[in-house]
């Protein structure tokens, strides 16, 4: 993607606009308050507010105004908190969300928000055309809307500064129209209807009205053009919300006093009939619709520009991130927005477009509130807003948005959620590399802290799973160990890939770099694992030190996985290490491969079906139970789900074959792991002979190790001799004292 962020570009990530600077840009009144209040006092107020009062009555209207403004107010508080913590650059709400919850969430909300702003252009130009047709019935409403949309787009394309300055004249016209309305007169004899039960349901009316209070986005979207966004966004936004609330709470009273419900519903321009001088209302309608359309067509391209510059959009759309002139105006984005708006104008129905906008804006408000709530709840040192808002207020705003969305239209809410989630995963699978942090790590850290403190050191057979410490050395050389660990855990337990480095081979900085390289290598190969490197005089001391010190609270590796020792000169120290790990109450799993067979049972392309042999001895205590658990964990992995587990037991007395077979069958049935059983009569043969003949065709062979004692090295060497020239074997030594029978449900 082209790098649009120049070193001295005031829109770049590195540029900082501090309070008090005299650098060029818009102030609070012109950049935030004016576009916000002009969008709030827009087409819905002039053309649909009477319809709202007529459908739900005075009290119903006031309730709608309070509910809608409460959501907007809580969202405004969240915006203030985020805006006073960091400099908000181009992109407004998208910028805030992406820098708080990550690029994926920002993109998931930013793309629908862009379309909401682009559709708003159509909403306002259709409103303009509708009011013009009411005054001049013979004109074609669609053609007027198309022409006005095109003119608004051309104005924004040519010069954003001219469009912004025009808003001051429009504000004067709106003020005059409101004065004319408030000092107006009744249009008929009527009595105040507190509650009305007409055709439109309450929440349908709410959905039509709600876009009237979403004007705060107009100011937020201009964040990249503000001289001092940290100061201007909070004050300008809150003043706009307060002004709009005061007007929307008083207007219904005058409307209910001056006309009955049927008239209010039937006459879109009822305000004109009530005003002292009707043409001023038309002037206000035209001014409000045009100013709102201008505000939307100025805001939407800036969101699109920010999305393109952050790489959220596909690479072929990166041209939309281009800026023109000293003000970095998004002219390519303006043209794209104009196309979207013209397409929406062809739909031509205010009542159809308004609810769609409501869902888009409510989704944005919900995520904005969640961003502020999470930031406030985590209390990260990096989140230090000068405008402090308790996280409960932001959470209340988010919950309010969600409830209202379902009350308006549950199906549309689910569809909106599917769209947002779909965009989220679409952005995520592209694995964008961003230069900013977000709260997700802080959220996981808070959950991790709670989980660790809630997890005690008491043995829990019900929730046991292997937490593996893999002594792999260089992962590329002993990759089969990591494959076995991945097959055993399969997203259930933690894997830590570890290696012991010689003392003095690397300093701490180089060691951290090597850990990062190993993590990246594991991620590229699809393995989720932690990485830990230590330095020690020899690898055995390092392994013992890892087991002794590695972990956090009760979350420590309970199982050590390592490779077989091939060098006889190191075998004594190797066996001593195993004995020390056993005394430290760790399970030990040793993988012994046969390089002569060139066999890797953990490859996805291996032959099927596959066979796992468990050589049974010593009953359910210790090694027997752990081998069964490990075999079961392997088969619950999708790559091993067709594996056939076979319990094999050698007996020396022919009279005991039937009893042993019955006991083994009963055990396999009781354990519910789908294992077969086979009792083999020794008939004078050694165990080594029986093992070689019976397991030569297996893919994996499980064998238990004797508890470490004085002759442990000799017993280990015996295992090595037994499995020479056999397929991959796994030696298992269970930790002393742990109830593996309880894990299998034998208690």
Tokens 């996981």 locate to 444
Pick one of 1.20.1740.10, 3.30.420.10, 3.40.50.300, 2.60.120.1270 as the CATH number of 28-428: 1.20.1740.10
Checking phi first, is residue 252 left (phi over 0); if not, alpha (psi -120 to 50) or beta? Answer: alpha
Checking phi first, is residue 656 left (phi over 0); if not, alpha (psi -120 to 50) or beta? Answer: alpha
Tokens 């709530």 locate to 373
The 10s digit of each residue's pLDDT in 387-417 is: 888 999 999 999 988 988 888 888 888 888 8
As a CATH number, domain 594-742 is 3.40.50.620
- Mark out the alpha helices in 455-529 (DSSP H runs): 479-489, 508-524
Q: What is the pLDDT of residue 433?
A: 61
CA distances in angstroms from 312 to 1, 304, 344, 424, listed in the order given: 10, 10, 24, 10
Question: Closest by alpha carbon to 248, among 493, 506, 42?
Answer: 42
The 10s digit of each residue's pLDDT in 42-97 is: 878 988 899 999 999 999 999 999 999 999 999 899 888 887 777 777 777 888 88
Given a contact cutoff of 8 angstroms between Cβ atoms, the answer to whether 327 and 123 are in contact is: no
Asked if the model's pLDDT at residue 34 lies above 60, the reply is: yes
Report DSSP state, residue 410.
Answer: H
Given a contact cutoff of 8 angstroms between Cβ atoms, the answer to whether 306 and 95 are in contact is: yes
Q: What is the pLDDT of residue 177?
A: 94
Q: What is the pTM of this model?
A: 0.67
H or E segment at 284? helix 278-309
The 10s digit of each residue's pLDDT in 113-150 is: 898 888 888 878 887 888 788 778 888 888 999 999 99
* Beta carbons within 10 angstroms of residue 523's beta carbon: 12
Asked if the model's pLDDT at residue 24 lies above 60, the reply is: no
* Confidence label for 28 from pLDDT (cuts 50, 70 and 90): confident
Q: What is the pLDDT of residue 604?
A: 59
The CA distance from 414 to 363, in Å, is: 11
CA distances in angstroms from 205 to 52, 200, 247, listed in the order given: 6, 6, 19
Question: Closest by alpha carbon to 396, among 730, 76, 46?
Answer: 76
| Three-state secondary structure string covering 81-119 | HHHCCCCCCCCCHHHHHHHHHCHHHHHHHHHHHHHHHHH
* Confidence label for 618 from pLDDT (cuts 50, 70 and 90): low
DSSP three-state, residue 732: strand
Average pLDDT, the chain: 82
Tokens 């038309």 locate to 282
Asked if the model's pLDDT at residue 682 lies above 50, the reply is: yes
Burial of 645 (0-12, 13-18, 19+ CB in 10 A): buried
Given a contact cutoff of 8 angstroms between Cβ atoms, the answer to whether 107 and 98 are in contact is: yes
Asked if the model's pLDDT at residue 633 lies above 70, the reply is: yes
Q: Do domains 460-563 and 594-742 have the same CATH topology?
A: yes
Q: What is the pLDDT of residue 69?
A: 93
The CA distance from 661 to 659, in Å, is: 5
Q: What is the pLDDT of residue 375?
A: 82
DSSP 43-56: HHHHHTHHHHHHHH
Asked if the model's pLDDT at residue 606 lies above 70, the reply is: no
The CA distance from 656 to 35, in Å, is: 92
Checking phi first, is residue 731 left (phi over 0); if not, alpha (psi -120 to 50) or beta? Answer: beta
Asked if the model's pLDDT at residue 641 lies above 70, the reply is: yes
Q: What is the pLDDT of residue 5?
A: 34
Q: What is the pLDDT of residue 192?
A: 80
* Beta carbons within 10 angstroms of residue 487's beta carbon: 20
Tokens in use for 40? 């709030």
The 10s digit of each residue's pLDDT in 699-736 is: 899 999 988 888 899 999 999 999 988 988 999 998 88
Pick one of 3.90.79.10, 3.30.9.10, 3.60.20.10, 3.40.50.620 as the CATH number of 460-563: 3.40.50.620
% residues pLDDT > 90 (the chain): 20
The CA distance from 638 to 490, in Å, is: 9
The CA distance from 695 to 650, in Å, is: 13
Please report the sign of the dihedral spanned by the C-alpha atoms of residue 247, residue 249, residue 254, residue 256. positive
Burial of 598 (0-12, 13-18, 19+ CB in 10 A): exposed
Asked if the model's pLDDT at residue 542 lies above 70, the reply is: yes
The 10s digit of each residue's pLDDT in 449-489 is: 777 777 766 666 766 778 899 998 878 888 889 989 988 88
| Domain limits, the chain | 28-428, 460-563, 594-742
């Amino acid at each position: 993607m082209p790098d649009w962020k120049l070193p001295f570009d005031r829109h770049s990530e590195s540029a900082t606009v501090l309070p008090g600077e005299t650098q060029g840009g818009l102030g609070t009144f012109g950049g935030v308050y004016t576009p916000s209040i002009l969008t709030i006092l827009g087409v819905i107020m002039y053309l649909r507010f009477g319809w709202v009062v007529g459908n739900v009555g005075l009290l119903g209207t006031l309730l709608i105004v309070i509910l809608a403004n409460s959501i907007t107010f809580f969202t405004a508080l969240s915006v203030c908190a985020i805006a006073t913590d960091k400099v908000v650059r181009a992109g407004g709400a998208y910028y805030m969300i992406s820098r708080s919850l990550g690029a994926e969430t920002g993109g998931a909300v930013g793309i629908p928000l862009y379309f909401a702003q682009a559709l708003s252009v159509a909403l306002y130009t259709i409103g303009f055309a509708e009011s013009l047709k009411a005054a001049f019935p013979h004109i074609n409403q669609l053609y007027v809307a198309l022409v006005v949309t095109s003119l608004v787009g051309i104005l924004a394309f040519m010069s954003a500064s001219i469009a912004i300055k025009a808003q001051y004249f429009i504000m004067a016209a709106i003020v005059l129209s409101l004065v004319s309305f408030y000092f107006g007169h009744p249009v008929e004899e009527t009595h105040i209807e507190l509650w009305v039960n007409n055709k439109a349901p309450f929440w349908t009316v709410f959905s039509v009205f709600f876009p009237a209070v979403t004007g705060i986005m107009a100011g937020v979207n201009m964040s990249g053009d503000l001289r001092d966004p940290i100061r201007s966004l909070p004050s300008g936004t809150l003043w706009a919300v307060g002004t709009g609330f005061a007007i929307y709470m008083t207007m219904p009273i005058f409307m209910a006093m001056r006309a009955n419900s049927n008239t209010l519903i039937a006459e879109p321009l009822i305000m004109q009939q009530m005003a002292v001088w009707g043409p001023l209302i038309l002037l206000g309608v035209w001014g409000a619709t045009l100013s709102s359309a201008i505000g939307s067509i100025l805001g939407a391209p800036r969101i699109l520009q920010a999305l393109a510059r952050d790489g959220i959009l596909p690479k072929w759309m990166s041209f939309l991130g281009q800026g023109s002139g000293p003000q970095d105006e998004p002219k390519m984005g303006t043209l794209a927005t104009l196309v979207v708006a013209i397409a929406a104008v062809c739909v031509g129905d205010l009542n159809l477009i308004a609810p769609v906008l409501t869902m888009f804006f409510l989704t944005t408000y919900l995520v904005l509130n969640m961003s502020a709530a999470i930031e406030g709840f985590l209390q990260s040192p990096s989140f230090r807003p000068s405008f402090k808002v308790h996280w409960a207020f932001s959470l209340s705003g988010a919950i309010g948005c969600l409830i209202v969305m379902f009350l308006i239209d549950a199906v549309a809410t689910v569809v909106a959620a599917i769209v947002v989630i779909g965009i989220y995963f679409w952005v995520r699978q592209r694995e964008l590399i961003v230069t900013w942090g977000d709260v997700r790590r802080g959220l996981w850290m808070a959950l991790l802290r709670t989980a660790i403190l809630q997890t005690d050191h008491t043995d829990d057979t019900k929730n046991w799973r292997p937490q593996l410490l893999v002594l792999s050395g260089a992962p590329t050389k002993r990759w089969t160990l990591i494959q076995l660990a991945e097959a055993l855990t399969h997203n259930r337990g933690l894997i830590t890939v570890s290696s012991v480095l010689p003392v003095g081979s690397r300093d701490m900085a180089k060691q951290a770099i090597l850990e990062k390289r190993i993590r990246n290598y594991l991620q590229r190969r699809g393995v989720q694992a932690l990485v830990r490197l230590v330095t020690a005089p020899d690898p055995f001391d390092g392994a013992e030190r890892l087991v002794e010190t590695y972990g956090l609270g009760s979350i420590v590796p309970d199982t050590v996985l390592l490779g077989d020792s091939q060098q006889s000169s190191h075998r004594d120290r190797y066996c001593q290490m195993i004995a020390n790990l056993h005394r430290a109450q760790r399970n030990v799993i040793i993988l012994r491969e046969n390089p002569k067979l060139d066999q890797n049972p953990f490859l996805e392309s291996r032959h099927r079906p596959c066979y796992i042999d468990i050589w049974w001895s010593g009953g359910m205590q210790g090694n027997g139970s752990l081998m069964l658990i490990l075999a079961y964990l392997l088969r619950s992995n999708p790559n091993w789900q067709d594996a056939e587990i076979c319990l094999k037991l050698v007996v020396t007395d022919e009279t005991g074959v039937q009893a042993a077979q019955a006991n083994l069958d009963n055990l396999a049935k009781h354990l519910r792991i789908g294992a077969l059983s086979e009792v083999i009569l020794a008939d004078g043969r050694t165990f080594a002979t029986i093992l070689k003949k019976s397991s030569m065709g297996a893919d994996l062979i499980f064998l238990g190790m004797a508890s470490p004692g004085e002759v442990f090295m000799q017993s280990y060497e015996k295992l090595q001799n037994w499995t020479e020239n056999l397929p991959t074997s796994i030696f298992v030594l269970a930790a002393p004292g742990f109830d593996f029978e309880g894990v299998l449900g034998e208690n």
